[in-house]
Amino acid sequence: MKLDSLNSESFVNGASTTTGLSSAKAEEAKQAGAFRIVWSNRKARFGIIVLAIFVFIAIFGPWLAPYSISDTHFPTSMGPSAAHWLGTTQTGQDVLTQLLCGARVSMFVGFLSGAIVIAIALTIGFVAGYFGGWVDDVLSMLMNVMLVLPGLPLMILIASYIPSHGIWEIILVMSLTGWAFGGRTLRAQMLTLSRRDYVIAARFAGESPLRIIFREILPNSLSYIIANFFGAVTGAILAEAGLEFLGLGNPSITSWGTMIYWAQNGDALLEGQWAWVLAPGLCIALVASSLTFINFGIDAVANPRLQED
Amino acid sequence: MRYFLRKIGFLLLTVWVAVTLNFVLPRLMPGNPAQAMMAKFAQQGPVSPSQEKALELMLGLPTGSLWSQYWSYLGNIVHFNFGTSYSYFPESVSNVILTALPWTLILVGIVTILQFVVGTLCGVYAAWNRGKKFDSTASVMLSFTAAFPYFWLALALIYFLAYLAKWFPISGGYSGSLHPAFQWSFIASAVYHSILPAITIFATGIGGSLLGMRNNMINTLGEDYILLAKAEGLKNRVVALRYAARNALLPIVTNFAMSLGLVVGGSLLMETVFAYPGMGYLLSTAVSNQDYPLLQALFLCITVSVLVANFIADLISGLLDPRLRRGATTS
């Protein structure tokens, strides 16, 4: 019985790889179908729209801004007004301009760190899950240790020893400390997938591990990987804001986190400048929650029971 | 038994990693944190030879071989000798931490437990009435609040409730005119100052425990024994609490212990925003003053308490769930 199903699987598998063209088309159709499922989820649709707006701002921010980012000749510490919708800073900069230009840095750091984190998690998780044995033991131990060390304090410790503070240092610190969670879930995913019949069949057919991982397993766990990626970006955007708020970023680079840092240092709230403090935080919250909402839709692709009509 | 031995081994390993990380990091970094630190101390006043020695060991002034430095460093840690704080000169680091610890333990501890209990109960309710009004509004709203940077929520609360409405004090742990003492007026003032921080921790934490419990509970509700219990005509409340919730609680135990462990670290950014005199505020003070001795000691305290809490959680879930123990011996 077992052998039977194995044979048929390997046969199907062989057939689909020989007719490469049609399988590529089928995959395309599958991907379009997946997007439709995500889109049909109301929460995910909301998330995609919000995220698209912020990506647009991140790219075109400096052109959308009403003033130049280096313009510091405005009256200082003003509340919101017609000329300055979100007020001005202590050093006479327009807050709205900072907000629009800062989007680029915040989103760039968040997405790049998320990508690095997921790349590390993917490599370690898949290697551990695929090869098993002592490789798995060592890597799992490493992941478990990283996982129980408290994240934010560890990031703070490392960041405060680095003599210079900037975007790249923040990305480095977050990539070093953030991968363990994704690594563990992707390892678990790998463990279940690598026991599936079609993977065993591919092994028996003499395929190389790399080919099996990239052609058989990766496409089938894409939704997990994307969900983990969005999770990692959310974590990175929040951690970035936290580190910058503590003064561990480069305060002369305008991002949402450093805006709050300056606002807090300038006692903005006690001067009644609510917009200066609240606007960047709201942007962070919107981007982070848009990713969470998209993940609801992606979950629905992986788990049909969660699909909405 | 093997399960417990493994867990003890893991605890020892992780504590060793944390301690060693603390030793290695400052020595790896370019620039010399220790020398910078000594120079800063020299400006502040005389440092006793024993304090100087402790500082050298923590931060790595090149005296003796790395190996002997490491051993004396371990010795110092065992004796809780973390040297002198720069930001609170000439207080010793251990004293500074001991003053801050009760503030954090009481406030963050109480709110964490409260948040966990309320969140879990609401999670049970949401899962039982899945897809109904409470469930759908709670899950959407809480996924949104979970995305808030929580220091930002604190800032918003300060602006609206403390600055505009003037219902609560803006910052601090107690009124500036009082001194910490076991008196009614002081305790009242401390409670009054802790309300806004408490709301912040509660609001940002409850999402996690509610959604976590809800999802576990939904999985448990699909089990056959729930169906059977319902078929036997047991009351809804009995099925929900005695049958489903008890089993759904298992994975939550770990989360709860972990968050209790994190209590020692304080709600780091929240305490910074409120200038609340606890561990989190101490940590941010240490960061902005580059007070490495204090920073290292705080990192160790936070990490070790998280690790111990995690260890206890493992023990408890091992006791509650025999499958875990068996799984550990077979694999």
- Test A245 with B303 for CB contact under 8 angstroms: no
Q: How far is B144 from chain A (nearest CA, A)?
A: 5
| Angstrom distances, CA of residue B301 to CA of A104, A171, B248 | 37, 26, 31
The pLDDT value recorded for residue B67 is 77
The pLDDT value recorded for residue B60 is 54
The pLDDT value recorded for residue A7 is 37
Shared domain for A19 and A114, answered yes or no, is no
The pLDDT value recorded for residue A51 is 92
Query: How far, in Å, CA of A190 to CA of B88, rounded?
Result: 51
B contact residues 258-287, partner A, Cβ 8 Å cutoff: 261-262, 265, 268-269, 272-273, 283-284, 287
Instruction: Report the topology of domain B99-330.
Output: MetI-like fold (1.10.3720)
State how many domains chain A has.
2
- Is pLDDT of A18 > 50? no
- For residue B162, what is the DSSP state? I
Q: Provide mean pLDDT across the span B302-309.
A: 87
Shared domain for A155 and A126, answered yes or no, is yes
CA-based nearest residue to A181, from A150, A211, A202, A205: A150
Residues in B touching A161 (Cβ below 8 Å): 25-26, 28-29, 33, 292
Q: Characterise A68 by phi-psi region: left (phi > 0), alpha (psi -120 to 50), beta (else).
A: beta
Q: For residue A224, give its domain range.
A: 41-306
- Is pLDDT of B59 > 70? no
Shared domain for A19 and A118, answered yes or no, is no
The pLDDT value recorded for residue A8 is 37
Shared domain for A123 and A14, answered yes or no, is no
CATH at A205: 1.10.3720.10
Contacts of A171 (CB under 8 A, 6+ apart): A109, A112, A113, A116
Task: Flag the least confident range among B139-143, B264-268, B315-319.
Answer: B264-268
Shared domain for A165 and A219, answered yes or no, is yes
Q: What's the burial of A46, exposed, middle or buried (CB within 10 Å: 0-12/13-18/19+)?
A: middle
Q: Give the pLDDT confidence of B263-301 residue by residue, as tens digits.
A: 776 677 788 888 888 888 888 888 888 788 888 888 888
The pLDDT value recorded for residue A29 is 60
The pLDDT value recorded for residue A117 is 93
The pLDDT value recorded for residue B182 is 67
CA-based nearest residue to A271, from B200, B177, B170, B277: B170
Q: How far is A208 from chain B (nearest CA, A)?
A: 27
Binned at pLDDT 50, 70 and 90, residue A195 comes out as confident
Q: Could you tell me if residue A263 is inside a domain?
A: yes
Q: What are phi and psi of B48, to 5 degrees?
A: -70, 155
Binned at pLDDT 50, 70 and 90, residue A24 comes out as low
Shared domain for A124 and A266, answered yes or no, is yes
Q: Give the pLDDT confidence of A143-182 residue by residue, as tens digits.
A: 888 888 888 888 888 888 887 788 888 899 889 888 888 8
Q: Which secondary-structure segment (H or E) carries B54? A: helix B49-59
Q: How far is A242 from chain B (nearest CA, A)?
A: 7
CA-based nearest residue to B215, from B135, B146, B148: B135
Shared domain for A9 and A123, answered yes or no, is no
Task: Flag the least confident range among A110-124, A192-206, B157-171.
Answer: B157-171
The pLDDT value recorded for residue B176 is 66
Domain residue extents for chain B = 2-78, 99-330
Q: What's the burial of A20, exposed, middle or buried (CB within 10 Å: 0-12/13-18/19+)?
A: exposed
- Is pLDDT of A72 > 80? no
Average pLDDT, chain A: 79
Q: Which token pair is B306?
A: 């998280």
- Is pLDDT of B24 > 90? no
Shared domain for A24 and A159, answered yes or no, is no
| Angstrom distances, CA of residue A217 to CA of A89, A133, A137, A200, B324 | 52, 19, 21, 11, 28
The pLDDT value recorded for residue A53 is 92
Q: Provide mean pLDDT across the span B171-182.
A: 69
Q: Give the pLDDT confidence of B77-130 residue by residue, as tens digits.
A: 887 777 777 777 677 888 888 888 888 888 888 888 898 999 888 888 888 888
Shared domain for A23 and A77, answered yes or no, is no
Q: Could you tell me if residue A76 is inside a domain?
A: yes
Binned at pLDDT 50, 70 and 90, residue B231 comes out as confident
Q: Provide mean pLDDT across the span A192-210.
A: 84
The pLDDT value recorded for residue A250 is 83
Complex-level ipTM beyond the 0.85 threshold: no
The pLDDT value recorded for residue A192 is 81
Task: Flag the least confident range among A75-79, B52-56, B58-62, B189-193.
Answer: B58-62
Percent of chain B with pLDDT over 90: 1
Binned at pLDDT 50, 70 and 90, residue A52 comes out as very high
Shared domain for A273 and A141, answered yes or no, is yes
Q: Could you tell me if residue A269 is inside a domain?
A: yes
The pLDDT value recorded for residue B62 is 54
Nearest to B269 among A141, A242, A289 (CB): A242
Residues in A touching B31 (Cβ below 8 Å): 163
Binned at pLDDT 50, 70 and 90, residue B163 comes out as confident
Q: Provide mean pLDDT across the span A101-130.
A: 90
Percent of chain B with pLDDT over 70: 83
Nearest to A163 among B25, B29, B159 (CB): B29
Shared domain for A105 and A16, answered yes or no, is no
Q: Which residue of B has its CA nearest to A294?
A: B143
- Is pLDDT of A19 > 60? no
Q: A106, A138, A155, A160: best mutation site toward chain B, by most B Cβ within 10 Å?
A: A160
Residue type, A57: I
| Angstrom distances, CA of residue A6 to CA of A9, A192, A204, A210, B55 | 5, 16, 10, 21, 65
Q: Could you tell me if residue A36 is inside a domain?
A: no
The pLDDT value recorded for residue B205 is 80
Q: Give the pLDDT confidence of A260-294 residue by residue, as tens digits.
A: 888 888 777 777 777 888 888 889 888 988 888 88
